[in-house]
Chain A
Amino acid sequence: MLDVVHQPLLDIRNLTVEFATRRGTVTAVRHINISVGRGETLGIVGESGSGKSVTSFAVMRILDRAGRIADGSVTFSGIDLIAATDRDMGDMRGREISMIFQNPRAAINPIRKVGHQIEDVLLRHVQAVRSNVKEKAIDILKQVRIARPEERYHAYPFELSGGMCQRIVIAIALACKPQLLIADEPTTGLDVTTQKAMMELVIELTHKRGMSTVLITHDLGLAAAYCDGVVVMQQGEVVETASSGVIFKAPAHPYTRKLMRATPRPGATLRDLLEEERPARTPTSVQTDGSPLLKINNLIKEYPRQRVAKSMAKLFGRNASAADAEPFRAVDGVSFEIKRGQSVGLVGESGCGKSTTSMMAMRLLDPTSGSIILDGEDIGAIPARDFAKLPARKRIQMVFQDPTDSLNPRFTAARAIADPILRLGDVRGRDALRARCEELAQLVGLPRHLLDRFPHQLSGGQKARVGIARAIALHPELVILDEPTAALDVSVQAIVLNLLDELKSRLSMSYLFVSHDLHVVRLLCDHVIVMKSGRIVEKGSARQVLEAPQDEYTRELIAAIPHPPV
């Protein structure tokens, strides 16, 4: 009797998962042991390629065709999941164990009403019959706090926000009251405040039902904030298992220590994120001579409202209110300046206008009104199309968010770096160009032999370096960094952020750093601007904004960021 109580709900023993690839068998998960107790919330933490998602797919037996459980056992509540028939497994999924996924918008059927998708699961597991299924589906929508559930029952995913889609995914997962919830990066890609609301919802619902939860994440802060126990995985192996109280105070494994260190947190400096063996460099003094490099005045960007709405309003008696006819202001009267040698952080959640602002400053987008003054010259009035040919183009360059998507897949690293030089630079001749590329590669720490590789042959960090080398190829004075590390693992992010900081002082550039993560911004920037709904709600020195935020929204943002206890 006592044994049953102490038996874990999910017990993974010696699990090995292999994938058949063109280059032979690859072992994605190697002899791992993980157990989840009843009512426990366990975090599985690791960087990309650590095998954390593969583990969860193996438990659910939804590995794709190439994947195979080669060894080990998975026991759930006394049932051997590996030996179970497909039919039994189908009964288990969704009813006993369910999953929520990353990228909620893609995770639900785009052309089926969300209410029907919840009903599918209810009917499948006989939790409802035809006559009461709609009522039950709406009840679940209420439980995941969807406003106006009767209406939203009929909505399609494209009519809902990312956060609401994630609530639907949670509703589908929890509809049949399972005993175990596996959440695979459930909040990656969501805003911090949405993330907080989502995690609190999951924790509240699972606690109320006495469920166990496995939270798979790359974010140590998230695991620390919500989990009882933490499993750290690296390259298919479990390197450390401990209660979250212990692991953050005294991480035993070097890899755990490395991860801990690389996670941005209050009080840490850029150098603190790196390996402890590296000698601490003297902090670079900011060489600001106080002269403004870029001055943005009352910048406004308007977009016309959706045409459909307009013509519909016309159809129905032209009594559309004045508010409907007004264009949408993505950026609404933004003013700030960037001094020489300064780096300014532009922070806000998705849709706040930070990217639009940076695109206008970059002169890729024409402002509706307002001025953009670069070194005394108003470049705001020059159409974006013409700006690309002007010498001023060289002075402002950009590092893009996704290091993979922002590289031409058919260009080698060297060709990508040479691209701006070929267009606007003054380096002539193959050899000179190659020499310049090698010089730039060295500057960003990209090994020379990688220059002839294509993007798919490079790692995420290496691609980020190519993107940075391309941006600094023309000796720009201002570099706009649009979430340059959002797609990178924390340990790689730590290195790239340090590289950016070093380059800034060495090449005396200014940065406009666009990000949703205040902790990351604080590391690199001396000045921070917080935006919300197209307006600036707060600006000031990084220390001042983070330590003594004046605006309610800034406080909310800071509070929403989970971080490991320091």
Chain B
Amino acid sequence: MRSIMLKRLATAIPSLLGVIVVSFLLTRVLPGDTASYFAGPAATPQAIAEIRKQLGLDKSLPEQFARYVADLAHGDLGNSLTTGQPVVTEIANRLPASGELTLLGLLIALSIAVPLGILAAIREGSWIDHLCRVIVTTGVSLPVFFTGLLLVYVFYFRLGWSPAPLGRLDVFYSAPPQVTGFYLVDALIARDWETFRAAFAQLILPAATLAIFSLAPLARITRGSMLAVMGSDFVRTARASGLTPKTVILTYAFRNAMLPVVTTLGMVFSFLLGANVLVEKVFAWPGIGSYAVEALIASDYAPVQGFVLAMAILYVALNLMIDLLYGVIDPRVRLEA
């Protein structure tokens, strides 16, 4: 198993190298000049040239790249020009915020989408199938910022059930001692139930917003894949052997139908992680997506490069996990690896 993991990791190295080169080049060809942006609108050409020299932007591209790679080798992603903080620290602070949000969102989505998809498949054409279709279509057609605002309006403004949508924790609470960076997990480790409740209250609305959006692909794939498997020969054998509907559906059909669901799950996860900027904006969530967008607008190279790189590494890790999960589900995959 370990050698398989190492082998799979090795295949990711070329793509990571590619990401380093592309993220570097892309940030250079983007419109907007960092030096003039920071010098301010009233700056003289000399002042701009001075800043450019300070930032090392006057050097040739290969030289800049060499410096970037050398820094990278030391774990240095540079400093953000807007905040003055090292990019590594900022990403390390913000990634768990995004991760916690996305994971909880996916968990909610999965726990609704999978049962819904299974039910829709085994009762094809019934009311539950239609309900599934309606939920899925609604979820995917409403833009996330709209769903987010709607939830805030209903649960904060009208009903007052949830706290103000202002970040990860209410101002009256302090963050739990950092272990994983996930507030829920850290609070549990510290046995601080108050903080856990507060963090959860902040998290639930944005997570629900993400869940509503990501329900659609998961429920669809579950339904389609279940339909295909339910029509297969071995399910017929299981039924002809008198196995109970529960065994037939869960042990025989669903495990076989899981592979495409897992694939989709991976895709949805990596998509959400980068794309939940809008949710982060609506809920003032200090996540990695909003960080990257702000940096991009300010032509602040270092955070953007750091963001792309972090995403690429995450993506590679995620794919590895999914491959391993495949092996757990399907013995045939284990053999090939």
Q: Are B256 and A110 in contact (CB under 8 A)?
A: yes
Q: How far is the CA of A169 from the CA of B231 in the complex (A)?
A: 18
Q: Are B329 and A125 in contact (CB under 8 A)?
A: no
Which of B3, B231, B251 lies in contact with A112, CB distance below 8 A?
Answer: B251
Q: Are B331 and A156 in contact (CB under 8 A)?
A: yes
Instruction: Flag A95-114 by CB within 8 Å of B: 1 or 0 each.
Output: 10011010100111111100
Q: Which chain B residues lie closer than 8 Å to A121 at the CB level?
A: 241-243
Binds A, one of B18-26, B82-90, B232-240: B232-240
Q: Which chain B residues lie closer than 8 Å to A315 at the CB level?
A: 3
Q: Are B242 and A106 in contact (CB under 8 A)?
A: no
Q: Which of A384-441 contact B (CB under 8 A)?
A: none
Q: Are A111 and B330 in contact (CB under 8 A)?
A: yes
Q: Which chain B residues lie closer than 8 Å to A112 at the CB level?
A: 251-252, 255
Instruction: Tell whether A469 is near chain B: CB-to-CB under 8 Å.
Output: no
Instruction: Flag B216-255 by CB within 8 Å of A: 1 or 0 each.
Output: 0000000000000001111011111111100100011001
Instruction: Tell whether B335 is near chain A: CB-to-CB under 8 Å.
Output: yes
Q: Which chain A residues lie closer than 8 Å to B240 at the CB level?
A: 60, 62, 93-94, 98-99, 101
Q: A90-B244, A92-B242, A94-B241 are in contact. Are A110 and B234 (CB under 8 A)?
A: yes
Instruction: Flag A32-68 by CB within 8 Å of B: 1 or 0 each.
Output: 0000000000000000000000000000101011000
Q: Which chain B residues lie closer than 8 Å to A259 at the CB level?
A: none
Which of B238, B239, B332 lies in contact with A109, CB distance below 8 A?
Answer: B238
Instruction: Flag A368-381 by CB within 8 Å of B: 1 or 0 each.
Output: 00000000000000
Q: Are B232 and A106 in contact (CB under 8 A)?
A: yes
Q: Are A95 and B332 in contact (CB under 8 A)?
A: no
Instruction: Tell whether B124 is near chain A: CB-to-CB under 8 Å.
Output: yes
Q: A91-B242, A109-B252, A111-B329 are in contact. Are A101 and B247 (CB under 8 A)?
A: no
Which of A95, A101, A173 lies in contact with B236, CB distance below 8 A?
Answer: A101
Closest A residue to B237 by beta carbon equals A107
Q: How far is the CA of A509 from the CA of B142 in the complex (A)?
A: 67
Which of A93, A98, A109 lies in contact with B234, CB distance below 8 A?
Answer: A109
Closest A residue to B125 by beta carbon equals A65
Q: Which chain A residues lie closer than 8 Å to B232 at the CB level?
A: 106
Q: Which of B321-337 contact A (CB under 8 A)?
A: 329-332, 335-336
Q: How far is the CA of A91 from the CA of B244 in the complex (A)?
A: 9
Residue picked from B231, B242, B336, most chain A C-beta under 10 Å = B242
Min C-beta distance of A61 to chain B, whole Å: 9
Q: Which of B248-283 contact A (CB under 8 A)?
A: 251-252, 255-256
Instruction: Tell whether A172 is near chain B: CB-to-CB under 8 Å.
Output: yes
Min C-beta distance of A141 to chain B, whole Å: 16
Min C-beta distance of B125 to chain A, whole Å: 8
Closest B residue to A92 by beta carbon equals B242
Q: A124-B242, A124-B243, A156-B332 are in contact. Are A111 and B255 (CB under 8 A)?
A: yes
Q: Are A173 and B241 in contact (CB under 8 A)?
A: yes
Q: Are A93 and B241 in contact (CB under 8 A)?
A: yes
Q: How far is the CA of A172 from the CA of B242 in the complex (A)?
A: 11
Q: How far is the CA of A92 from the CA of B244 in the complex (A)?
A: 12
Q: How far is the CA of A64 from the CA of B239 in the complex (A)?
A: 11
Place the interface of chain B in its size category. 20 to 34
Q: Which of B58-100 contact A (CB under 8 A)?
A: none
Q: Are B241 and A172 in contact (CB under 8 A)?
A: yes
Q: Which chain B residues lie closer than 8 Å to A99 at the CB level?
A: 237, 240
Q: Are A120 and B231 in contact (CB under 8 A)?
A: no
Q: Are B247 and A124 in contact (CB under 8 A)?
A: yes
Min C-beta distance of B10 to chain A, whole Å: 14
Instruction: Tell whether A308 is near chain B: CB-to-CB under 8 Å.
Output: yes
Q: How far is the CA of A108 from the CA of B256 in the complex (A)?
A: 12
Q: Are A90 and B236 in contact (CB under 8 A)?
A: no
Q: Which chain A residues lie closer than 8 Å to B252 at the CB level?
A: 109, 112
Min C-beta distance of A217 to chain B, whole Å: 18
Q: Are A111 and B331 in contact (CB under 8 A)?
A: yes
Q: Are A90 and B242 in contact (CB under 8 A)?
A: yes
Q: Are A62 and B332 in contact (CB under 8 A)?
A: no
Min C-beta distance of B4 to chain A, whole Å: 11
Instruction: Tell whether A336 is near chain B: CB-to-CB under 8 Å.
Output: no
Closest B residue to A96 by beta carbon equals B242
Q: A111-B256, A111-B329, A111-B330 are in contact. Are A120 and B243 (CB under 8 A)?
A: yes
Q: How far is the CA of A169 from the CA of B234 in the complex (A)?
A: 10
Which of A91, A94, A101, A109 lies in contact with B256, CB distance below 8 A?
Answer: A109
Instruction: Tell whether A158 is near chain B: CB-to-CB under 8 Å.
Output: yes
Q: Which chain B residues lie closer than 8 Å to A103 at the CB level?
A: 233
Q: A101-B237, A106-B234, A120-B251 are in contact. Are A111 and B242 (CB under 8 A)?
A: no
Q: Are A110 and B332 in contact (CB under 8 A)?
A: yes
Q: A93-B240, A172-B241 are in contact. Are A107 and B335 (CB under 8 A)?
A: no
Q: Which chain A residues lie closer than 8 Å to B124 at the CB level?
A: 65
Q: How far is the CA of A516 from the CA of B232 in the complex (A)?
A: 28
Min C-beta distance of A157 to chain B, whole Å: 9
Q: Which of A147-174 contact B (CB under 8 A)?
A: 156, 158, 169, 172-173
Q: Are B234 and A120 in contact (CB under 8 A)?
A: no
Q: How far is the CA of A408 from the CA of B10 in the complex (A)?
A: 40
Q: Which chain B residues lie closer than 8 Å to A156 at the CB level?
A: 331-332
Q: A111-B256, A112-B251, A308-B335 are in contact. Are A98 and B231 (CB under 8 A)?
A: no
Q: Which chain A residues lie closer than 8 Å to B242 at the CB level?
A: 90-95, 121, 124-125
Min C-beta distance of A168 to chain B, whole Å: 10
Q: A156-B332, A158-B332 are in contact. Are A107 and B239 (CB under 8 A)?
A: no
Q: A90-B242, A111-B332, A125-B242 are in contact. Are A120 and B247 (CB under 8 A)?
A: yes
Q: How far is the CA of A120 from the CA of B242 in the complex (A)?
A: 10
Q: Which chain B residues lie closer than 8 Å to A92 at the CB level?
A: 242
Min C-beta distance of A165 to chain B, whole Å: 11
Closest A residue to B258 by beta carbon equals A111
Closest A residue to B240 by beta carbon equals A99
Q: Which chain A residues lie closer than 8 Å to B332 at the CB level?
A: 110-111, 156, 158
Q: Which chain B residues lie closer than 8 Å to A94 at the CB level?
A: 240-243
Q: Are A124 and B241 in contact (CB under 8 A)?
A: yes
Min C-beta distance of A426 to chain B, whole Å: 46
Q: How far is the CA of A353 from the CA of B127 in the complex (A)?
A: 54
Closest A residue to B336 by beta carbon equals A308
Q: Which chain B residues lie closer than 8 Å to A106 at the CB level?
A: 232-234
Q: How far is the CA of A139 from the CA of B3 in the complex (A)?
A: 38
Min C-beta distance of B134 to chain A, whole Å: 22
Q: Are B234 and A108 in contact (CB under 8 A)?
A: yes
Closest B residue to A122 by beta carbon equals B241
Q: Which of B290-337 contact A (CB under 8 A)?
A: 329-332, 335-336
Q: How far is the CA of A105 from the CA of B243 in the complex (A)?
A: 19
Q: How far is the CA of A415 from the CA of B234 in the complex (A)?
A: 38
Which of A60, A101, A124 lies in contact with B233, CB distance below 8 A?
Answer: A101
Q: Which chain B residues lie closer than 8 Å to A107 at the CB level?
A: 233-234, 236-237
Q: How far is the CA of A405 from the CA of B252 in the complex (A)?
A: 29
Q: Which chain B residues lie closer than 8 Å to A93 at the CB level?
A: 239-242
Min C-beta distance of A56 to chain B, whole Å: 9
Q: How far is the CA of A91 from the CA of B241 in the complex (A)?
A: 9
Q: How far is the CA of A108 from the CA of B241 in the complex (A)?
A: 11
Q: Are B241 and A98 in contact (CB under 8 A)?
A: yes
29 A–B pairs (Cβ distance < 8 Å), ordered by A: A62-B236, A62-B239, A64-B231, A90-B242, A90-B243, A93-B239, A93-B242, A94-B241, A94-B243, A99-B240, A101-B236, A101-B240, A106-B233, A108-B234, A109-B234, A109-B252, A109-B256, A111-B255, A120-B238, A120-B241, A120-B243, A120-B247, A121-B242, A124-B243, A124-B244, A125-B242, A158-B331, A308-B335, A308-B336
Known contacts A108-B237, A109-B256; 8 further A-B pairs (Cβ under 8 A): A65-B124, A93-B239, A107-B236, A110-B256, A120-B247, A124-B244, A308-B335, A308-B336
Q: Name A residues whose Cβ lies closer than 8 Å to a Cβ of B.
A: 60, 62, 64-65, 90-95, 98-99, 101, 103, 106-112, 120-121, 124-125, 156, 158, 169, 172-173, 308, 315
| Closest CB pairs A-B (n = 7) | A93-B242, A94-B242, A94-B241, A106-B233, A99-B240, A121-B241, A107-B233
